[in-house]
Chains A and B, each alone.
Chain A
Amino acid sequence: MFKKILIANRGEIAVRVLRACHEMGIASVVVYSEVDRAALHVRKADEAYPIGAAAASESYLNIPKILEVAKRSGADAIHPGYGFLSENAKFAQTCADAGVKFIGPTAAAMEALGSKTRARQAMEKAGVPFVPGTSRGVESFNEAEQVAARIGYPVMLKAAAGGGGKGMRLVHAPEQLKSSLEAARSEAERSFGDSEVYIEKAIVNPRHIEMQVLADEHGNTVYLGERECSLQRRHQKVLEEAPSPIVDSEMRRRMGETSVRVAQAANYTNAGTVEFLVDQAKNFYFLEMNTRLQVEHPVTELITGLDLVHLQIRIAAGEKLPFRQDDVRVRGHAIECRIYAEDPDNNYFPSPGKITLLQEPSGPGVRIDSGMYEGWTVPIDYDPLLAKLIGYGSDRAQAIARVTRALNECFVGGIKTNISLFRRILRDADFCAAKLDTGFLDRMLKRPEDKPADSKAAEVAAIAAGLFAALGSTEAAGSGSRAAEKANSNWKSASRREALR
């Protein structure tokens, strides 16, 4: 087993991984950029190394600097988290060459699955169903025209080299194809340095359902249940749940076995996720495989009772999977909300700043994976994910009740967050009825919010405003008794003023 693991990441995932290290008796080494000196992952680690300026290219994406820290600290393994270098085949290879174990798949497996077109070709060979379209980038507009006519509109143009919605265009009719193709190509070139674009049939109102897989380095591959990730805004996930409300055990078995075939076709090891689009008839189509641990892994952990990061570390250390497929049970329901420092009233613009007050929920069925703390100043330089708030229950209704209650207990003062978005989602009738698809959030956000005017609450606020002023809220008074003393002195000065009137 490893003695020391370097976590090449930051924020909530770095904290989550170092917690696993501490639970397993492994020393944790972290790195931090100039603006992250006060970050939670630095405070909680065993060793911490500065690695340069805020810009990711100078710090968290800087392969030589990270390997240098590995060498100096004597770390025998590196966990890349998600994002940053987690799906960078060059990084995985550099670690292997330096004799430091990369906790994840091999560079070869990443490369096989990293290019969307190469992944589709491999899936074709493995007999995995995928969305009709091209397995290679289209060479010319004529080819694009022919393919689109064959598979039928609407079609989706996609960048082979990337994701996150970049280089993607939905084309409804033949007249739009030419300009959309040009736009998709140039966006792909700008975002990924690769203008290769392929075409897929666009599925109407699809659900995005993904399957967690885990493979050891001895040939054992299992699936651990699916996650429903249809609630997205601009192709970014916002809320995820497990299991999917529309997947029964039979569909889970078919999707799971398909996912295992995908992983095996690429000689995949460690944790990964196979993404599918599911149409309204419950046909599922392979979309891509993510060769890393994902943000939303907690919902799978809660319904299976497994710790995925512990398992990642064990697999990387050469251990066999301690269970078989038959041992995997899915039980209960979990819902995760991604809490971002964003302003919902200003188009979700990032909202950095100092957290002046933090109340975090706890109690039954609540899990919070957080990178923030009270008094911390959220830096502007990175993705503003603050925390993941997960509610777990014995069924979906209870999970909704738990996560709603947890959100009501959660307060982040001093900055704007997207917490109000989740309250709106969890109240929505279609959400509660599990009528989900990838267009859900855009449709909900287009509808005007019906906020009942609460005059009673306004009166409470008015009374509270006076009390804050009277009891003295602008100074950092601290304890209740000191507040009372201050109150007395305010009353003294008030009565003096009265006497002078």
Chain B
Amino acid sequence: MLYDITIDGKKYRLDLNRADGRWSCRLDGREFEIDAILTRPDVLSLRIGDRAYEVKSERVANDLHLWVGSTCFAVEVRDPRSLRGRTRAGDDHGPRKITAPMPGKVVRLLVHEGDEVEPGSGVAVVEAMKMQNEIKSPKKGTIQKILVSKGAAVNAGDVLAIVE
């Protein structure tokens, strides 16, 4: 099976196959000898050659994070032959929801509908527990829609805006 993987902006092509209970793995054309089991759906015990790794996965907001030791990687995985893509969230093409990470109040909107944004551009400021938190766009694009107004109370997960 082929995968297009993006980690911190760098793209990898991974070719994974299983035959006779053995894996074969090619990463960007390089061969790796691997063996892997899931000890739980979000914990992978992986052997590459004789090295052993425990890789943990978690979803924070809409992003997939993989932890190798104490290093965290934001990962996007696409199956190039899948019709809809394996993780919608990782898709750079297509609208992304910008959500409030916690309950609070929208104290400032930093963009208008139609504005162009970069990854990391501030979109809104939400205040909670006497602290102000700037909510940022996850991708480059255009603010398609703003769904809250200044002063609105929001809950965790509420959509603030959509960036396309």
Give Cα distance in the complex from A416 to B72, angstroms. 11
Taking a contact as CB atoms under 8 Å apart, the answer to whether B44 and A476 are in contact is no
Q: What's the tally of chain B residues with a CB closer than 8 Å to chain A?
A: 53
Given known A350-B131, A411-B67, contact A487–B18 (CB-CB < 8 A): yes
Query: Does B156 belong to the interface (CB within 8 Å)?
Result: yes
B68-88 at interface with A (beta carbon < 8 Å) = 68-71, 73, 75, 77, 79, 81, 86
Taking a contact as CB atoms under 8 Å apart, the answer to whether B71 and A350 are in contact is no
Contacts of A140 in B (CB 8 A): none
Given known A380-B102, A380-B129, contact A463–B25 (CB-CB < 8 A): yes
Binds A, one of B55-63, B107-115, B138-146: B55-63
Query: Does B121 belong to the interface (CB within 8 Å)?
Result: no
A125-150 at interface with B (beta carbon < 8 Å) = none
B1-39 at interface with A (beta carbon < 8 Å) = 1, 3, 5, 7-8, 10, 12, 14, 16, 18, 25, 27, 32, 34, 36-39
Question: How many whole Å from A16's CB to the nearest CB in chain B?
Answer: 25
Contacts of A353 in B (CB 8 A): 60, 101-102, 156
Query: Does A499 belong to the interface (CB within 8 Å)?
Result: no
Give Cα distance in the complex from A356 to B40, angstroms. 12
Taking a contact as CB atoms under 8 Å apart, the answer to whether B59 and A460 are in contact is no
Question: How many whole Å from A257's CB to the nearest CB in chain B?
Answer: 42
Interface SS of chain B: strand
Taking a contact as CB atoms under 8 Å apart, the answer to whether A473 and B128 are in contact is no
Taking a contact as CB atoms under 8 Å apart, the answer to whether A480 and B67 are in contact is no
Which of B64, B71, B86 lies in contact with A457, CB distance below 8 A? B71
Taking a contact as CB atoms under 8 Å apart, the answer to whether B69 and A470 are in contact is no
Return the chain A residue nearest B3 by Cβ.
A466
Return the chain B residue nearest A495 by Cβ.
B1
Contacts of A346 in B (CB 8 A): 133
Contact with B along A459-501 (1 / 0, CB 8 A): 1111111111111111111101001000100010010010001
Given known A350-B102, A497-B81, contact A468–B44 (CB-CB < 8 A): yes
Which of A458, A467, A476, A487 lies in contact with B73, CB distance below 8 A? A458
Return the chain B residue nearest A451 by Cβ.
B71
Given known A466-B14, A472-B41, contact A349–B131 (CB-CB < 8 A): yes
Taking a contact as CB atoms under 8 Å apart, the answer to whether B58 and A465 are in contact is no
Return the chain A residue nearest B44 by Cβ.
A464
Give Cα distance in the complex from A357 to B42, angstroms. 8
Contacts of A356 in B (CB 8 A): 42, 58-59
Which of A415, A416, A458, A469 lies in contact with B79, CB distance below 8 A? A469
Contacts of A470 in B (CB 8 A): 1, 16, 18
Taking a contact as CB atoms under 8 Å apart, the answer to whether A349 and B8 are in contact is no
Query: Does A454 belong to the interface (CB within 8 Å)?
Result: yes
Query: Does B148 belong to the interface (CB within 8 Å)?
Result: no
Contacts of B18 in A (CB 8 A): 470, 487, 491
Taking a contact as CB atoms under 8 Å apart, the answer to whether A464 and B55 are in contact is yes
Query: Does B48 belong to the interface (CB within 8 Å)?
Result: yes
Give Cα distance in the complex from A416 to B58, angstroms. 11
Contacts of A477 in B (CB 8 A): 38, 41
Contacts of B162 in A (CB 8 A): none
Taking a contact as CB atoms under 8 Å apart, the answer to whether B156 and A350 are in contact is no
Query: Does A80 belong to the interface (CB within 8 Å)?
Result: no
B-to-A contact residues, CB < 8 Å? 1, 3, 5, 7-8, 10, 12, 14, 16, 18, 25, 27, 32, 34, 36-44, 46, 48, 53, 55-60, 64, 66-71, 73, 75, 77, 79, 81, 86, 101-103, 128-129, 131, 133, 156
4 pairs of A and B residues whose beta carbons are closest in the complex: A413-B58, A464-B55, A466-B14, A461-B73
A-to-B contact residues, CB < 8 Å? 346-347, 349-353, 356-357, 359, 380, 408, 411, 413-416, 419-420, 423, 454, 457-478, 480, 483, 487, 491, 494, 497, 501
29 CB contacts below 8 A, A to B, read A346-B133, A357-B43, A380-B103, A414-B59, A458-B7, A458-B10, A459-B12, A460-B53, A460-B55, A460-B68, A461-B7, A461-B68, A462-B5, A462-B27, A463-B32, A463-B48, A464-B55, A464-B57, A465-B66, A466-B16, A466-B77, A467-B16, A468-B38, A471-B44, A473-B42, A477-B38, A478-B40, A480-B38, A501-B81
